[in-house]
Amino acid sequence: MASPLRVLIHGGGIGGLTLATALARRGHTVEVAELRDRFDALGVGIIQPTNALHVMREIGVLDECLAAGFAWEVLTIADPSGKPLARIPQPRMDGAPAGNGIPRPALAGILGDAAVAAGAKIRFATTLIGLDDDGTGVTATLSDGSSGRWDLVVGFDGIGSPLRTRLHGDRYAPEYTGFANWRVTVPRHPDVRGVVMATAGRDAKALLTPMTDGLMYLGAVFAESEDFRPDPERAHEELAERLAGFSGPVAEALAAVTDPSAVVYSRISQVTVGGPWHAGRVVLAGDAAHASTPHLAQGAAMAVEDALVLAGALDAAASVPEALESWEARRRPRALWVQALSRAVLRQETGAPTTPEEDELLKTGIPGAARVLAEPY
Ligand SMILES: Cc1cc2nc3c(=O)[nH]c(=O)nc-3n(C[C@H](O)[C@H](O)[C@H](O)COP(=O)(O)OP(=O)(O)OC[C@H]3O[C@@H](n4cnc5c(N)ncnc54)[C@H](O)[C@@H]3O)c2cc1C
């Protein structure tokens, strides 16, 4: 489309800020309504695989991400003591680095600054309270009292997406997988120069991810009942009990944790919006449309791919509805494949029974999946 569009993005997280930057750089008028009062995120790390880094390069923030994080090329599979069993070089996409670990707050700051520098307006502590799509445009009312008319409204408002609820009620509510992720930030062990996946028996895996030169995070997934919450007085001891079979870097990392509040506990849920991701000129993207389990470290990568591909589809199509059709046709197969494979890996790694369809998917394996994901999105 030749003329600049007016786009409202609901949610200034990883996907929303990437879209804001990509669209504002193309000359579109962009506003972001974000519930938080500043660019921020949970204080743990995130893995940016090569496809996410490729998007970061396309929106002009790759160097900042690498400077704030810790880039690596090799995934190491290790025994419970940290002794390497296999070193698997990770693919690179079109010259982008293979992977980067980065603190989530640093990534939020980089993406937020880029969106503002590109010309996007951010409305913090703001949410959508009214929406009327008359077919030629959308009138949206925000909680700060403002209202405006938009060519497109994008819900990048996360797994709990209020915009999804507004469109579909609780038809596509997040579904708890029965597993939860324990994470804690610790000093980086000198041997951890890329992601290390240490295994103790069938059901216990620990992931060590460098985030900066000085910090790494330890993550582990366990089956937990839906109403379980770590004891605020001894969450670090509960994590240590679950990882009792490990020595070496994992045990050293656990020994460094003396504050129970340092442990971040997240129940793992997933969401699939089975019907179309758009209704008229309102579209859901990222976790709001297809949140997956974290086992391929691809949720945010899919969100930023969604964002860049949507910006390109709006360039190429003759109208907003046509752009949304072509965008979804391109994004749905890849995002749902990631979701299905991530779920299958979770079940395999945790010893849960897998279905024949999941067994078929798992034949790709993690190295095979990494190669597919390094292909054009
Ligand atoms: C344990 C765990 C580990 C993970 N590790 C990785 C990893 O290593 N690599 C990876 O690629 N992915 C990972 N993910 C997935 C990744 O975090 C998500 O897929 C990604 O953040 C989705 O981006 P998004 O923009 O769709 O949503 P989000 O990043 O969640 O952003 C949503 C935004 O919407 C805002 N919002 C919510 N409600 C409202 C409202 N009412 N009004 C206005 N704004 C609102 C929120 O404040 C937030 O800023 C992990 C997920 C989990 C649970």
Contact criterion met (CB below 8 Å) for 126 and 111? no
Atom in ligand 1 nearest the alpha carbon of residue 16: 25
pLDDT surpasses 90 at 284: yes
Mean pLDDT of 16-40: 97
In terms of Cα–Cα distance, which of 150, 153, 122, 148 is closest to 4? 150
Q: What is the pLDDT of residues 194-241, one digit of tens each?
A: 999 999 977 789 999 999 999 999 999 999 999 999 999 999 999 999
Per-residue pLDDT, 1: 84
Q: 346 versus 108: which is more confidently predicted?
A: 108
- The pLDDT confidence band at residue 45, using thresholds 50, 70 and 90, is very high
pLDDT surpasses 80 at 365: no
- The pLDDT confidence band at residue 3, using thresholds 50, 70 and 90, is confident
Per-residue pLDDT, 350: 82
Report residue 188: phi and psi, to 5°: -70, 130
Q: Does residue 295 have its Cβ closer than 6 Å to ligand 1?
A: no
Cβ contacts of residue 146 below 8 Å, gap of 6+? Answer: 123
95 CA from centroid of ligand 1 (Å): 26
Q: Does residue 103 have its Cβ closer than 6 Å to ligand 1?
A: no
Per-residue pLDDT, 316: 96
In terms of Cα–Cα distance, which of 182, 185, 158, 181 is closest to 43? 185
Atom in ligand 1 nearest the alpha carbon of residue 301: 11
Q: What is the pLDDT of residues 74-97, one digit of tens each?
A: 999 999 999 999 999 999 998 899
Q: Does residue 137 have its Cβ closer than 6 Å to ligand 1?
A: no
Q: Does residue 224 have its Cβ closer than 6 Å to ligand 1?
A: no
Length of the chain: 377
pTM: 0.97
- The residue whose C-alpha atom lies closest to atom 29 belonging to ligand 1 is 13
- Which of 18, 110, 143, 156 maximizes ligand 1 atoms within 8 Å of its Cβ, making it the mutation to test the pocket? 156
The DSSP-derived string for 263-276 is -EEEEEEE----S-
Rounded to whole angstroms, the Cα distance separating 219 from 152 reads: 38
- Which of 18, 34, 159 maximizes ligand 1 atoms within 8 Å of its Cβ, making it the mutation to test the pocket? 34
Per-residue pLDDT, 204: 86
304 CA from centroid of ligand 1 (Å): 11
Mean pLDDT of 95-107: 95
Q: Does residue 99 have its Cβ closer than 6 Å to ligand 1?
A: no
- The residue whose C-alpha atom lies closest to atom 21 belonging to ligand 1 is 300
Q: Does residue 310 have its Cβ closer than 6 Å to ligand 1?
A: no
Atom in ligand 1 nearest the alpha carbon of residue 36: 47
pLDDT surpasses 80 at 317: yes
Per-residue pLDDT, 351: 82
- The residue whose C-alpha atom lies closest to atom 35 belonging to ligand 1 is 11
Neighbours of 303 (CB within 10 A): 28
Beta strands in 106-195 (DSSP E): 121-123, 128-133, 138-142, 147-150, 152-155, 175-187
Mean pLDDT of 286-302: 96
Q: For Cα atoms 288, 26, 101, give the angle at the middle one, nearest 5 degrees.
A: 50
- The pLDDT confidence band at residue 128, using thresholds 50, 70 and 90, is very high
Spell out a b/e string for 147-167, using b for 16 or more CB atoms within 10 Å of the CB, else e.
Answer: eeebbbbbbbbbbebbbbbbb
Rounded to whole angstroms, the Cα distance separating 143 from 148 reads: 12
The fold of the 6-41+105-173+271-373 domain, in CATH, is FAD/NAD(P)-binding domain (3.50.50)
- The pLDDT confidence band at residue 157, using thresholds 50, 70 and 90, is very high
Atom in ligand 1 nearest the alpha carbon of residue 183: 1
pLDDT surpasses 80 at 271: yes
235 CA from centroid of ligand 1 (Å): 24
272 CA from centroid of ligand 1 (Å): 15
- The residue whose C-alpha atom lies closest to atom 49 belonging to ligand 1 is 13
User: Mean pLDDT of all residues in the chain?
Assistant: 95
Q: Does residue 101 have its Cβ closer than 6 Å to ligand 1?
A: no
Q: Does residue 336 have its Cβ closer than 6 Å to ligand 1?
A: no
Kindly state the DSSP code that residue 317 receives in the 8-state scheme: S
- The pLDDT confidence band at residue 368, using thresholds 50, 70 and 90, is confident
Rounded to whole angstroms, the Cα distance separating 73 from 251 reads: 24
239 CA from centroid of ligand 1 (Å): 24
- The residue whose C-alpha atom lies closest to atom 20 belonging to ligand 1 is 300
Q: Could you tell me what percent of the chain has a pLDDT over 70?
A: 100
- The pLDDT confidence band at residue 324, using thresholds 50, 70 and 90, is very high
> Is the backbone of residue 141 left (phi > 0), alpha (psi -120 to 50) or beta?
beta
C-alpha distances (whole Å) from 241 to each of 60, 247, 250 are: 43, 12, 12
